[in-house]
Amino acid sequence: MRKKIIAGNWKMNYTASQAEDFLLSILDLINTDEVDVVVCPNYTALDRIQNILDDKKVKLGAQNVYFEPKGAYTGEISVDMLNALNVEYCIVGHSERRQYFNETNLDVNKKVKVLIEKGIKPILCVGETLEERNENKLFEKVELQIKEGLLDVSAEDVKNNVVIAYEPIWAIGTGVTATSAQAEEMCAYIRKVIAQIYGENVSESVRIQYGGSVNAKNANELLNMDNIDGALVGGAALTNDFVAIVNYEN
């Protein structure tokens, strides 16, 4: 049985103190052992947030990392720096990073590997544009993102340490959610791709989230699909809706 994982991607919102205030306002309402709950604040808020997450009921995630260990990379943050703040998860290859910062599958793969090497679990984001969906290229796009994103990652690590987030780009921040059937179809396909590369045992264990306009209204249905093991939530994770999503009915 795969444990669900619901992560809030706060993106470039909230100063450190706003992030702290918001989290304190919802923390007591999150009372579930059945779901791994993760919040991913911006870098400047990680330290403040880790200090109020001591009891581990909610886990800490980062939104990005650089793959080099240290040095002259102005503006970047290393895995060691995240580790020093007890970060447990890190989003990689979010479509906004691919789109605005030109991240390639190769960059994403390097990030996935350094994170795993240092004990942080990558949340690997994949997903197609509307154009790719309309041209029926969605499966080949996502398959390549998975294959290149996980190149040279061992079966053991995929099984235990990798989370995949299927986020169709047309559904992110648009209010247009994929139907539960569309989301399930792609998550099942991703599981099949993982089975082909790593075998059934790994594919049955790896957790696959759906992301893209998840909210308090649609979460129940999405989270009850067979192959959807959680959600990566943007806009709704900045509000009390996150509590309702985390406490979804199964």
| Catalytic residue (one of 88, 96, 132, 167) | 167
| 78 binds ligand PGA, rule: CB under 6 A | no
The piece of 58-66, 103-111, 139-147, 232-240 that touches ligand PGA (CB under 6 A) is 232-240
Distance CA 86, CA 97 (A): 23
Q: Which helix (H) or strand (E) holds 101?
A: none
93, 122, 149, 211: residue in contact with ligand PGA (rule CB under 6 A): 211
Tokens of 140: 């080949």
Spatial separation of the C-alpha atoms in residues 122 and 61, rounded to whole Å: 9
| Stretch near ligand PGA under the rule CB under 6 A, chosen from 73-81, 181-189, 212-220, 242-250 | 212-220
Q: Which is nearer to ligand PGA, 202 or 228 (CB)?
A: 228
Closest residue to bound ligand PGA by CB: 234
Q: Which is nearer to ligand PGA, 193 or 222 (CB)?
A: 222
Q: Which two tokens stand for residue 54?
A: 């001591």
Q: List, in sequence order, the alpha helices (H) in the chain.
A: 16-27, 46-52, 79-83, 95-100, 105-117, 130-134, 138-149, 155-161, 180-198, 200-205, 219-223, 241-246
Is 176 a residue that touches ligand PGA (CB under 6 A)? no
Query: Would you say 119 and 80 are in contact if contact means Cβ atoms under 8 Å apart?
Result: no
Question: Which of the ranges 68-76, 104-112, 140-148, 205-213 carries the binding residues for ligand PGA, by CB under 6 A?
Answer: 205-213
Residue 66 or 166: which CB sits closer to ligand PGA?
166
Check binding of 214 to ligand PGA (CB under 6 A). Answer: yes
Using alpha carbons only, what angle is made at residue 44 by residues 61 and 19, rounded to the nearest 5 degrees? 70
Catalytic site includes residue 167: yes
Cite the active site residues. Answer: 94, 167
